[in-house]
Amino acid sequence: MSFERSIRRSSEEFSSALRDAINARGLSLARLHEMLRSRGNGVSMATLSYWRSGRRRPEGVQSLAAIAEIERLLHLAPGELTARLGATNRTGPVGPNQFPMNEQELERSVRDAFAALGAEYPDTARELTTHSVTDVDAAGNVAHCQTRSIVQSTVGTVSSIPFLELTPGEPTPAPIITAIAGGRIAARYSHPNGEVHGVLFELDSPLAAPDTTIVEWAVDYPPGYPPQRETGHAVAMKCRELLVWTRFHPDAIPDHVTERVDNPQGTTTTTTEIGGRTSVAQIRRGFGPGALSLSWSYDDGR
């Protein structure tokens, strides 16, 4: 059964059960509305009518709270109505879709990259949960970065997603980006300014809103690539959980680390001692749009 047919069927089952329960108690819809209002629930009479007829279904937090109250008022078992709603066709709170940094010139380069890759800007897929793991070599430089993400289509159907590597103010050759799971690399692009490199990650199968899938990719660096002592991840829409985990070689534990948080409004930085740790885990929930990064340094001048 398709997702849309499943939604339609569960909506019909819910509205039928609601009508039967109201009739069984001998209540009018107006009386039920009055009882809800007396208990502080402001759901409108029109909304109740839509639910009873099946023209709409309750989905938001306030609506589901109203259904829980209706179950009590109609002497139903807890969950007797809500269980009939099944899956939701909502994406949940999406928030604004914005370039994650206050860098207009860089955003223009990113737009160029999207156009060259044949991708719509801004991207309509969002990262629900992303774990980005960076390994630092014995010289203190980034050696390898691997990222796993649960992505969701927020509008229409998504068949591919652009993933970009940004080095603002530092032209570099293209890093080596490889697909590990969830799809394949369909196209590659490097901006003439050398600050934006990326790929078009073609999903194993198209993703229709609000469905999700898991993708995983890795970034390595070719010989002659400038040494990197910074890592991070950026999201253009709110991410439920973002983890940036930086793991240091035992011979390259830094003396200082600096956390940087960029967003469309500006930048904040926090410098701290690493305190003998061999890794730093930056965890944010409800993060974005923005970029979370970590840089490090050594007192011995390496």
Say how many CA atoms lie within 13 Å of 108 toward its Cβ. 4
Mean pLDDT across the stretch 164-168?
A: 95
How many Cβ atoms sit within 10 Å of the Cβ of residue 284?
17
Which pLDDT value is given to residue 1? 41
Query: What is residue 9's predicted lDDT score, i.e. its pLDDT?
Result: 66
User: According to CATH, where is 2.60.40 located in the chain?
Assistant: 104-297
b/e map 111-129, b = 16+ CB within 10 Å: ebbbebbebebbbbbbbbb
Q: What is the pLDDT of residue 2?
A: 42
Q: What is the dihedral of CA 103, 248, 218, 266, to 10 degrees?
A: -10
Q: Of 150, 147, 137, which Cα lies nearest the Cα of 178? A: 147
Q: Is the CB of residue 94 less than 8 Å from the CB of residue 39?
A: no
Is the pLDDT confidence value at 284 over 90? yes
pLDDT in tens, 72-88: 899 998 888 877 876 55
Query: What is 3-85's CATH number, 1.10.10.60, 1.10.260.40, 3.40.50.1820, 1.10.1780.10?
Result: 1.10.260.40
More confident residue, 97 or 107: 107
Q: What confidence score (pLDDT) does residue 87 get?
A: 57
CATH 1.10.260.40 residue spans of the chain: 3-85
Fold of 104-297: Immunoglobulin-like (2.60.40)
Mean pLDDT of all residues in 85-112:
82
